[in-house]
Amino acid sequence: MAKIMKLFLIFVLVISLVESTLIPRQTENGDACARISVDYKKSKGDPSFSAKYSDVKECLDSIPYNRELAEKIIENVKKTLQGFYVFLSQAKEEPQPGFSFKAVDLIKELDALLLKDYTSDYRFMTDINNLFSELKDAHLNFISLCYNHFIFKQQLYLYSVINKDDIQIIKIFDDEIDHSTVDCEVTHIDGRPSMEVIKEFADTINKSKDAGARFNIALTALKINENGGHNISSSKFTIRNSLPEKSSIDYSLTGVVVIPNVMPSDSDFVNQMFELQKGFKLLEDKGVQKLIFDFNENGGGYVDLALFFVFLLFPNSSPSFHNDMVVSELSRALFDAATSRSIHENSIDTTVITPPPSFSIESLTRWAVDTANEVTDSSSNFDIFAFKDPLADRHFHTVEEFIGNNTFVRGGTPTRYTTKFVDRHSQKINILTKLLAGNFKEYKWMSEDMIILTNGNCGSSCSLITQRMAEMFNVKTVGVGGYKDTPLSYASFPGGMVYLDHALNIELEGLELFKNETLKDSLPSPFNNTVIMSFTLREVYDVNDDRVLEFTYKPAKYRLYYDEQSARDPSKLWLKVAKIFEQ
Ligand SMILES: *[C@@H]1O[C@H](CO)[C@@H](O)[C@H](O)[C@H]1NC(C)=O
Ligand SMILES: *[C@@H]1O[C@H](CO)[C@@H](O)[C@H](O)[C@H]1NC(C)=O
Ligand SMILES: *[C@@H]1O[C@H](CO)[C@@H](O)[C@H](O)[C@H]1NC(C)=O
Ligand SMILES: *[C@@H]1O[C@H](CO)[C@@H](O)[C@H](O)[C@H]1NC(C)=O
Ligand SMILES: *[C@@H]1O[C@H](CO)[C@@H](O)[C@H](O)[C@H]1NC(C)=O
């Protein structure tokens, strides 16, 4: 059934942050902003309050472009990236086959923004964000706090299936207003073929270098919730600029392990360790022979937890990654300053630590976690004593040794990187598992008893899990959705470590580098709470080779597509996946 319908665009005011900061400024700055604010107050904080499109547009455009301020911002962004953004050079390289994004010379493009004539501050700030988005590195962000108060929402949720004529189409998954449209095919959007419109939109999404994964993110997918039910994911085509969802880990008793994210369900790492082990034990006690890991819609979380997860399934392994950072005048100054104040110089030799005379596994575990934390914790991300040289299997002793002599030509630019190192997360897990040796249950599942299922939207530390399991232990990978007859990545934006401009400033301040005259020209000045910028500080490498994981195309070995049933019922999808065990 084909049906033409109008899509209503609704702007929903995000309530947090707004009251104190936005409203006074808006009343001064423009009628449209004041109108929204008055309407919102009249609604008495109605959570379904929505503003008029015309008011929102006028409000956003009401703050004039200030060239002097723009120059300052561009300079700051450039200095931060030049000092620390580990992908700055490699971003200039054409993508590997399988990936699709534009090679970008960020510094050049940032300078070019200053040559444009902007009608408002909003358009300028948005251009910086759009430029960042070209890199398809979800860890690289520029968010202007003045303008992120609106969510853009439509009534329709869309999905994609292959129809009986073997053609890929777009259908309606859900309709908040008119349920009779559910499962209708959407042939056109704004008069253009829907596949084409969705593809075009999907390619503006910054979460994956793989077009198929971006397509999946643009559309609706199910996300398993903490009660074992499922929710519609915040499909990017439907809801844009949405707030992060609450997080937890969940288990299902069908032999399917759903890992919706890598966030602890409470802040206690030990509880989380026990919960993971309990989950696996439950499956084993039920006699489950095969495991399907459903990593759909998993945006990542804690590296510690990700590594521990891999360790549990593959004990006697060390699931760490090799990292490096860029060496610039600034990063070097930070390595020097942070290391000279390090508390780690006489790192504790863990082989001489003896456990307390306690019989409770819980207290033993708590002690081991505390001890591992104590040995590996660091107040600075630039303290080189906190890192270990994986080849020599010992800690670095001097900044010179850590920096080494590693110049790689990336994106045509010779760029210096530190010696490869293992970070404190891996060390923590390594120490922890050593201290608790003999106390972990070994499960009977082998690599061939496991399958990883993802729609490509498995990012950051989720991708660290899947990459390790797939590349190091040969666990089969299945990609679902994406474009027909096109391979699909099983993970996205592995990065290494994301860092916030705000944290960088605290570090620079604490180490008194703002006072250092030598560094005056290369130091970024703080954004004064008007902007949140994040960037990738460390990059991780593929197993046993020199390829940077972020830029390495890794398609899933097996492909599946959604149909009308499996798009709505994950268990249908799992049954299809289970057949792959037989192949
Ligand atoms: C990248 O995606 C995130 C999540 O959708 C979004 O909040 C952010 O603004 C995007 N960043 C850029 C530079 O587009
Ligand atoms: C998920 O769905 C359940 C009902 O199935 C609902 O109670 C819950 O609020 C939803 N969660 C989110 C984050 O939308
Ligand atoms: C200032 O920074 C430079 C470059 O890192 C460093 O060599 C110098 O020792 C620093 N000066 C002070 C006073 O810390
Ligand atoms: C650094 O490496 C380059 C080329 O690999 C070499 O020519 C140079 O001598 C090295 N410098 C030092 C200080 O080891
Ligand atoms: C932040 O404020 C300080 C002090 O007023 C000023 O020197 C600096 O230029 C400002 N930074 C930006 C990016 O506006």
175 domain-assigned: no
Q: Are 377 and 387 in contact (CB under 8 A)?
A: no
- What atom in ligand 3 is closest to the CA of residue 517? 1
Instruction: Give the E-state strand segments of 118-260 in sequence order.
Output: 141-144, 150-154, 156-162, 168-175, 188-189, 192-193, 222-224, 230-232, 239-240, 256-258
Which helix (H) or strand (E) segment holds residue 573: the answer is helix 570-580
- What atom in ligand 5 is closest to the CA of residue 527? 13
273 domain-assigned: yes
Q: Which residues pair with 294 in a beta bridge?
A: 258, 453
Q: What is the pTM of this model?
A: 0.84
CA distance 224 to 232: 9
The total number of structural domains in the chain stands at 2
376 domain-assigned: no
Q: What are 546-583's pLDDT values in tens digits?
A: 899 999 999 999 999 999 998 888 888 888 888 888 87
Nearest by Cα to 189 from 158, 163, 162: 158
Q: Give ∠ CA 456-222-477 in degrees, rounded to 5.
A: 35
User: Of 38, 60, 82, which residue sits at a domain end?
Assistant: 60
Report CA 67 to chain centroid distance, whole Å: 33
Q: Which residues of the chain have pLDDT under 50?
A: 1-29, 237-253, 255, 348
The beta-carbon contacts of 521-526 under 8 Å, at least 24 apart in sequence, are: 522/79, 522/82, 522/83, 522/328, 522/329, 522/330, 523/79, 523/330, 524/75, 524/76, 524/77, 524/79, 524/80, 524/83, 525/72, 525/76, 526/501
User: Of 11, 36, 60, which residue sits at a domain end?
Assistant: 60
111 domain-assigned: no
Q: Are 305 and 461 in contact (CB under 8 A)?
A: yes
Nearest by Cα to 207 from 308, 306, 134: 134
CA distance 447 to 570: 23
Ligand 3, atom 11: nearest CA belongs to which residue? 516
Q: Which residues pair with 498 in a beta bridge?
A: 536
pLDDT at position 72, please? Answer: 95
114 domain-assigned: no
Q: Is the CB of 113 under 6 A from ligand 3?
A: no
pLDDT at position 1, please? Answer: 28
483 domain-assigned: yes
- What atom in ligand 5 is closest to the CA of residue 525? 11
Ligand 5, atom 1: nearest CA belongs to which residue? 528
Q: Is the CB of 265 under 6 A from ligand 1?
A: no
275 domain-assigned: yes
pLDDT at position 26, please? Answer: 41
Q: Is the CB of 469 under 6 A from ligand 1?
A: no
pLDDT at position 5, please? Answer: 33
Mutate to test the pocket of ligand 5, among 68, 75, 525, 527 (most ligand atoms within 8 A of CB): 525
pLDDT at position 12, please? Answer: 34
Cα(300) to centroid(ligand 2), Å? 20
Range of the domain at 261: 256-320+434-491+554-583
pLDDT at position 487, please? Answer: 97
Please report, for the domain that includes residue 276, its CATH number.
3.90.226.10
163 domain-assigned: no
Classify strands 188-189 and 192-193 as parallel, antiparallel or unpaired.
antiparallel
CA distance 161 to 171: 8
CA distance 525 to 73: 9
User: Of 60, 86, 103, which residue sits at a domain end?
Assistant: 60
